[in-house]
Structure formats: structure tokens, C-alpha cells
Structure 1
Amino acid sequence: MSKRTLIFGLILILLGVVLTFKATGLFYFDIGDFFSLLIPLGFIAIGIWMIVRRNRSHDASQSDHHYHYHAGHATTGDTPAFESTQKQSPADGLNQEEGPKQTYHFSAGAGGPEPGRYRHEKFIGDVYVDCNGISLQNVVVSVFIGDCEIKLHGGQLATGLNRMVISGFIGDVRILVPKGMPVFTQCSNFIGDLELFGRHASGFGNNLDAQTPDYNSAESKLYIASNFFIGDIRVYEV
């Protein structure tokens, strides 16, 4: 779990403790005073998050696994991406201190009775989704607080338009797209950075879309939508 997730987790715990004490009458605390205190605490938390995020971005730029864009394509350093499960993935450099993520390998029927539909929901925690060998016709991933990394390599596109939706409240999203897969992606966040196939947006209230060159003419294509309130969203072609 990232430092930012830990900070907001502590804030939620503090909120629960204060409301519990007020409900049990252990001490008097006016609810108006609480919300007046919550606002500056929120500013402090956002400020700490922005500092941590900037430092992490700087560290990632020094890593051998950062991305260089050439004519809309992304490549890593000397080590080939996904060559072995024991080697570092392109996004691991951003999470060297966070420990291993929980990994989900989708399989047939994982999404319930509806054919071709795969869905995963998680409240708090980081998620790594491996789409190898599954249909990408209708994939939904939802994380309330936590980072999400999705590897599309080996995913199967049905004829026509396939859809993938990733949503959450606080966290970073990294989507790794294999070269040659026709993809259109539309992402938005309130605070953070967006990076889609080399296109960038940052600050507040971001909304950005991008697509691969062969998307319009492809018979089988993938539409990706991602929306987070706070966090970075990055889509790489590797």
C-alpha cells in the first residue's frame, strides 16, 4: 500500500474514533468544530500527497525502467518488459517500497453468469490484474482506495467494440497495452496527472483521451475509460 493510501487511511480512522467518542459521550466535541478541523487536515493530507507523488515521479525518472516516447510508442530501458515473472515490470519502479500487490488472473466464468463479463471490486488495497487468456469484451475494475495496475498482454478482443472501465476514489492507475492492440482511452481525475500514449495533463479537473493509430479501422478494438478523484492515470504501449 502506498504512503498516500496510508495517510488517507489514518484520516478515516481518526474520523471514526472521533465520531465514536462523540456518540458514546466519552468527551464533548461539537460536530461543527470537527468539520472545521477536517478541512485544514484535508489540505495537509493533499499537500503531503503532492510532495510524495512528486518525489516518487522524480525517483522513477532516474530508474532504468522509465518510459521514453518515440512517435507515440513507449519503450523501457535495457531489460525487456514482461520477459520473466521474476523480473521487474515497467511499473514496479514506482512501487519499490510498497511490497507485492495482490494479483488477479481472470479466467472463464470469473465474472459471474454473464458470458464475457469480468468484474473485480476492492475497497482498500493495491490490485494487479493480469488479463492473459481472457476476453476483454466487458471488464470492470473498481478500487476505492489503492493503486491499480492492469496488464493487457494476452487479452482476447471480441469482434466489434470491447470495453474496460476502471474507477476509484484515491489511487494511481497504470494500464500496460501491448503494441498493435487497437485502443481508445478516455481518462479523468480531479487532482493528479494523466499520461495517455505520450499525451499529458496535470493539475486539477483533468480530462484527456488518446488512441492508437489503427483504432478507427480495426474490426476488433478496445475502449478504456478510467476515472479517479485523486491520483495519477497512465496508459503505456509496451
Structure 2
Amino acid sequence: MEIGAKTKTYIKSIVPDKSTFIKDIEAYASLHNVPIMETDGMDTLLQFLRIQQPKRILEIGTAIGYSAIRMMEAVPNCHVVSIERDEERAKTAIENIHRATMETRFELIQGDALEVTEAVQDLAPFDVLFIDAAKGQYERFFSLYEPMVKVNGVIFSDNVLFKGMVSNEKQAETRRVRSLVGKIQAYNENLMNHDRFVSTILPVGDGLMVSKKLHSSSETRQVKKD
């Protein structure tokens, strides 16, 4: 079924309104050009989390704390560890977390996700990994942090359809963007065919991949040995 404009409008009309606090963060993000997850992608992610009820979530890409706050609202007993490279955004995220009175359930690691693995390892394992940072680094993020996800845990990857360019519905106009799209395509293909994960791509927001971890790398090696 193709979802038309009237159907989208209908669905939007019956969704409960967001709090003023959440609307304020969204307005700030729009005003300051801070990328945050699109509404239908976020709603889908949150519903998965409500069903899964994870205790510990690792987020790569805090930005201003929007996703972390939404996840902690959806799962009141969860704890979020989040990595953010940009110092100013990290400060704003902390301010928003304090405004939400969620500071006891949140830990921010300020630094490049490619360089802070030791600090994160001390806080592992995690039930969920949410990847929403530099799109060209998704493969490296996955390689570094997937081992910290428990068996039966879930990895959510945002922007895997990247404005329709990954499927060639729209054309990348610059060499840099074409390179980025190629990296996302490679990431998608790798995860869809990974022997330790079962994945699906949902056409919501900018594309959300949901990947469930079936077993660990050590278990894979044992099976091959046997």
C-alpha cells in the first residue's frame, strides 16, 4: 500500500500532542540547524523501545539531547549513555537533560566516538545501540560498538535511506555526497547479510534500520570450528 498525503495527514491528526518542552527543543533544533530525528522515524523507534523495555541504551550522536530525552520518556527505567563530539552541542544537551530532570539516568561522553571506546567499554554491556552520527562512519561505529551489545539486543541505525539517494530515487549531486551514499549502501548491505544479525529497513523518517543480534562473534567462531 502506498501511503498518500491524506493518510499521512490522518495519522498525524490522531497522534497525541507533544509536550511544550519537547516542542521547544524541536524549535531550537530548527532555528540552529541541529539535525534531529524526523517525527515518524522517532515515533517508530520509541514504539520498538516500549516493546523491548531495554535497561541500558548506548547512543552515538547526542546532538542537543532530543533523542535521549525521548527515549528516556518512553522507557522510564532505562539509562542512556550518549557520545557527542561537538562541545557546544554537548553543553546544550546537558542543559536540556537537567531541564527534563533526567540527569540521574543519563551519562554523556564528550568526544569522538571513534576514540572513546575504552570509556564506553567500562559502561557496557548495552541492550540497545542507537547510531545517529556521521553517516560515513557507520561501518566503523558498528565494528567498534557492536561487541558491547548483548545477544538479543537491538541496533537502530538512522538515515540509512539518506534523502532517497541510497535507493537512487534522488541523485547525489556532488562527489562528496556520492561517496557518502556509497558508504551507507555498503553499510546497509553488510548488515542485511550479516551472519550474527537479522535486519530490516523501515521507510520511515530518513530510513531506519532495525538489527537484532542473534549471537556473539565467539559463538560464530565456535559454530564454524565445530
| Short-chain TM bin | under 0.3
Structure with more of its chain in strand, by fraction: 1
TM-score (norm 1): 0.26
Structure with more helix by fraction: 2
